[in-house]
Chain A
């Protein structure tokens, strides 16, 4: 059985200047033990997609339509009490712990223990014991559970965030830019740790980032998002070496790649579109160097490139033609 399947999800924000179509018809699937990278420029709707899963949207935001099937069960319409049981117990999150995701005036151990007490109904003492085990798992000294967040380095905070995410043995972990603001070495350590834990514990992981280059080693699949839509999705191989969508192509070449010959990173021209009035047809057409007439008129459908590899472009792979 699939762990997660999102079908045609639409999540909009109603604000005074209009309706922001932050997530507009997004579909994706994830299996147990599998890891999916969700990439795209800032503001394309990655966080909104993640927050929709356990209904953590701010008050302006709401899921307009679509299904979110967790182990086959639709959780979009769960009541307030029901979704609270799904949160952390089934789906936990790793926020940017390096920033401000940990409460500064509460001991880190207690912040993890409180979730265990809530969902597993353990006593405080047993919960703390579990926190110590979790600290070992993420390679932190168990005695540091009584520290406050400011006593941890960025990398340590991120490890603590991971320990927190693992606290109730969730089936799915969503990491929203879990390594942003960490230096490259620490970033690699954290990603390796996550990778190891995922395989050991057979969890599904969604890794959100705007940096495609870090996903190669840690993900099985990648979904590329642009202006509220997924424009290409497939296995890492497909996306890295056989991509079909001009946006994926541009995004890849906008990051220096250490495995290939050195090329100057090539920034994508123009700015991401306004999601209140997104461009007609293909949302990428105002910035796409390969756009033709049809691109502004007709929205491209998802095409199958090969098994598990889809793209939404009228002229898939056009940039490879000489």
Chain B
């Protein structure tokens, strides 16, 4: 029964991905700006040079031919050539994907653990000083704009306290004689971007967890659990949290998907060489194939994240029908 449900969800996701590909393709056809001019970057290019470039990037053919070629290539993992990098899009994306995954992954793990814990404590100690502090903290970090938070952290930790570097992934020009010192340098560059992203997410997770838990605590089955003679810790852990986690799963999954693209701000502020920054660069250079590739990756990751959420949910909530 569960298998059927999973299969159905997987098929649904595949169909969605197909439509996304179609939509993604045509969206880029109707965007303004002449890609040819962008590739050439030379107003006095000869007619011959223009022709050759058109040929190289397949810009001369009719749109439907271009589309089928695109689809065929896509199946082979070929996303075309990047206009600005003059390299296959897939290679460009690949070289920038790890820094984002590491940063986002760390920030997610950190904020899930801290956020949920804070939410639980807040709800349980509702109305006490701890709750007020946690709640104000969450509200502030949740509502502050990411770039502003990033700049504040830079000015405090990098410029003021000189604890962490302001930008990049490794100190430029420095040679590393062993892995440990390189990892140390990497970690010190990673710290502030991860902190920025985590702070924003912690607020969101803590607030959501607190609210759902408060709702759950008023349910009748909480009174049943108390009437059975259990202590508060057990009731929270065994009865309240499993019920409150259900909405959290969805939220976490949505964030997982969105955040690959949503790191533009953080990556730009900290010059973190990940996908968010790559997208920013591609946007500036009107690099259609690259943008298209990134968009595709983002949408697919959103769809996959939702798929994972649906499947996890179906295992956590027995009420999900197959």
Contacts and interface: CB of A to CB of B under 8 A. Distances in A.
B229 A84 contact: yes
In terms of DSSP, what is the predominant structure of the interface of chain B?
helix
B226 A56 contact: yes
A73 B119 CA distance: 41
B178 interface: no
A105 interface: yes
A105 B224 contact: no
Interface in A67-104: 84-89, 92-93, 95-96, 99-104
B256 to A, nearest CB: 23
A150 B223 contact: no
A151 B1 CA distance: 15
A118 B234 CA distance: 11
A119 B230 CA distance: 10
B219 A88 contact: no
Contacts of B220: 95-96, 99-101
Contact of B228 (A88, A100, A104): A88
A240 interface: no
B229 A88 contact: yes
Residue from A89, A118, A119 having most chain B Cβ neighbours under 10 A: A118
Contacts, number: 71
Interface in A190-215: none
Interface residues of B, number: 21
B221 interface: yes
Contacts of A93: 224, 227
Given A105-B318, A106-B239, A118 B227 contact: no
Contact of A115 (B219, B223, B229, B316): B229
A148 B243 contact: no
B55 interface: no
A114 B243 CA distance: 17
Given A104-B319, A105-B243, A85 B229 contact: yes
B58 interface: no
Interface in B200-238: 219-221, 223-231, 238
A54 interface: yes
B228 A95 contact: no
A193 B52 CA distance: 89
A119 B319 contact: no
A102 B224 contact: yes
B224 A95 contact: yes
B128 to A, nearest CB: 12
B225 A103 contact: yes
B125 to A, nearest CB: 12
Interface string B296-322: 000000000000000000001111000
B229 A103 contact: no
B243 A56 contact: no
A84 B231 contact: yes
Nearest to B229: A87
Interface in A205-231: none
B243 A89 contact: no
Given A105-B316, A105-B318, A100 B229 contact: no
Contacts of A87: 226-229
B51 to A, nearest CB: 65
Nearest to A161: B224
Interface string A104-125: 1110000000110011000000
A103 B227 contact: no
A104 B243 contact: yes
A115 B224 CA distance: 11
Contacts of A96: 220
Interface in B229-278: 229-231, 238-239, 242-243, 246
B222 to A, nearest CB: 9
A101 B229 contact: no
A249 to B, nearest CB: 34
Contacts of B242: 105-106
Contacts of A114: 228, 230, 238
Contacts of B318: 104-105, 148, 150-151
11 contacts: A56-B227, A84-B229, A87-B229, A88-B228, A93-B227, A95-B220, A96-B220, A104-B317, A104-B319, A105-B319, A106-B238
In the complex, the 4 A-B pairs of residues with the closest C-beta atoms, listed nearest first = A87-B229, A148-B318, A100-B220, A103-B221
Given A84-B231, A87-B229, A102-B221, 7 more contacts: A84-B230, A100-B219, A100-B220, A103-B224, A106-B238, A114-B230, A151-B318
